[in-house]
A and B are shown apart, each in its own frame.
Chain A
Amino acid sequence: DQQVKQNSPSLSVQEGRISILNCDYTNSMFDYFLWYKKYPAEGPTFLISISSIKDKNEDGRFTVFLNKSAKHLSLHIVPSQPGDSAVYFCAASRDSGGGADGLTFGKGTHLIIQP
């Protein structure tokens, strides 16, 4: 049973436009949500996070929105740049540091930014 779901395996967006990546979760015990970015042959790199007491967190071009009642979060990238092309993983945890339960990851969405 997948507790974190990313239903779009891939997404193609034109450079300069907005990229919206979606994530759904089923475990109401999750308290902390993160987005990681992964390039081929590298480990995941932390991008942005949000705790369950907030509904929005912004860092430069990246904004994460959390809708707790819908158990849904989304990552917005504005404007999209060619270097944003990568696989994006949504992750969730009961402990913001990863803790004894670790992070639960979705399957990822491959974002392709078209010139």
Chain B
Amino acid sequence: DTGVSQDPRHKITKRGQNVTFRCDPISEHNRLYWYRQTLGQGPEFLTYFQNEAQLEKSRLLSDRFSAERPKGSFSTLEIQRTEQGDSAMYLCASNRGSNEKLFFGSGTQLSVL
């Protein structure tokens, strides 16, 4: 069990640029989640996949945010035309399903200048 892996750990970008983050869940986990955490707040749920199906995406913050999990394994979160308000920690989590705790990765810290 290597845990949930996220890449990169840190990303600095200029306003207006697109960024993409990657998450590799624990290998046997079929559920994958993305959360965002801003300073002084708890993690905020963004979206959820079961295998390759994105079952909840209404909580994505705007249409600039999108996520994919094409083969039901790793996932990517893309933010287009970044804004300074997008600066936050983006966390990925996974589990095997109901009655299973979430395992979180260490997150990607995004800074938009």
Specify whether A and B are partners: yes
Q: Given A41, A46, A106, A107, which contacts B102 in the complex, CB threshold below 8 Å? A: A46
Q: Bin chain B's interface residue count.
A: 20 to 34
Prevailing SS type, chain A contact patch: loop
CB <8 Å contact, A96 and B106: no
Q: B59's closest neighbor in chain A, by CB?
A: A102
Given A43-B4, A43-B105, CB of A102 within 8 Å of CB of B45: yes
CB distance from A59 to the nearest CB of B (A): 12
Please determine whether B106 and A42 come into contact, CB atoms closer than 8 angstroms: yes
Give the distance in Å from the alpha carbon of A44 to the alpha carbon of B91 in the complex: 9
Q: With an 8 A cutoff between CB atoms, is B99 at the interface?
A: yes
Residues of A within 8 A of B93 (CB): 43, 98
By a beta-carbon cutoff of 8 Å, the part of chain A in contact with chain B is 4, 34, 36, 41-46, 49, 89, 91, 95-108
- Shortest 6 CB-CB distances between A and B: which pairs? A102-B45, A105-B42, A43-B104, A97-B98, A46-B101, A100-B56
